[in-house]
Amino acid sequence: MSQIPIIKVRDVAFPRLQAPDLDRMESFLIDFGMVRAHRTEDALYMRGLGPAPVVHVTHLGEPGFRGFAFVAASRDDLEKIAGSEGFSPIEPLESPGGGLRTVTTDPIGLKVEVVFGQEPAQPLDTANPRALNMGTRFERFGAPQRIPRGPSRVKRFGHLQLNAPDPQAMFNWYNARFGLIVSDAVELAPGMPVAIFNRCDRGDEPADHHTILFSSDMASGGVPGLNHVSWEVCDIDDVFAGHEHLSAKKRSPEWGIGRHLLGSQVFDYWNDPWGQIHEHWTDGDQFDASIAPGRLGIDQGTASQWGPDMPSSYVRTSARVVS
């Protein structure tokens, strides 16, 4: 059951992964559609085409997942959450764009940051969706559609999926601190969720259908951690063009292209060089806080509406929790 949260976060900002070779990770992420924002001896910061100063962080080390960052709605909210039990004092955020952060540890050991005050970067592209002619809606007159070959146009970090022993307990913890609300739950039996799709509570302002998906780690052999991290691209052509580009670069596909049922995104999943799953998506659902949670049985076709069947490898924990 939802409770009164300490704050209501606005969005996610970036994940923090680990990899033993930053050159190889950077090469993969460039093929995926990102651009280097900054690099040190032991950390790689990547951005997309939009104003976010960083959308992906990789630290040098054994493959794994350190955690991720939420965006606070205000400095007051940052101070409020930093003053709560289990959170660190406010400190500078050492990444492109600067800003401030507080950090805590979630029930499976991930470091969860709340950040505020990052300076926007200069956009590298307008990153607008292309004009389409569909049915009775015509947006393009006298101009042919030409899609250049190359990587997807990555806009922003959008969501992540975490495998955990108890999805309901994870939701309760995140709801109490950050105000996440349920969009859809997949249940083994009534009141026994095996997957909970959660969004940020922005009141009457729409938000992505899910910012975090908590799923049972039973299918991953009881290993908690990251299933996947996901970035929104500009339009469906970016999904397909990006797929072709990654294929041409001999990257490792995981699952796609298809359209999910819950969230409705057109999706495409790829593995980085260490098997950590990264997703492109576009055309996802937008819900405001008035939309009631949906409840589906585990047998109600929750994976996708069209596209290839979900591979058995997809449900794994692709990146273990590391500190």
Res 142: pLDDT: 92
Average pLDDT over residues 208-227: 96
281 CB-near residues (< 8 Å, 6+ apart): 158, 230, 231, 232, 233, 239, 265, 266, 267, 268
At 2 the pLDDT is 56
Per-residue pLDDT, 191: 87
Q: What is the pLDDT of residues 231-251, one digit of tens each?
A: 999 999 999 999 999 999 999
Strands 43-47 vs 192-199: parallel, antiparallel or unpaired: unpaired
Low-confidence winner among 85-89, 242-246, 263-267, 300-304 (lowest mean pLDDT):
300-304
Cis peptide before 257 (omega within 30 of 0): yes
Tens of pLDDT along 93-108? 999 999 999 999 999 9
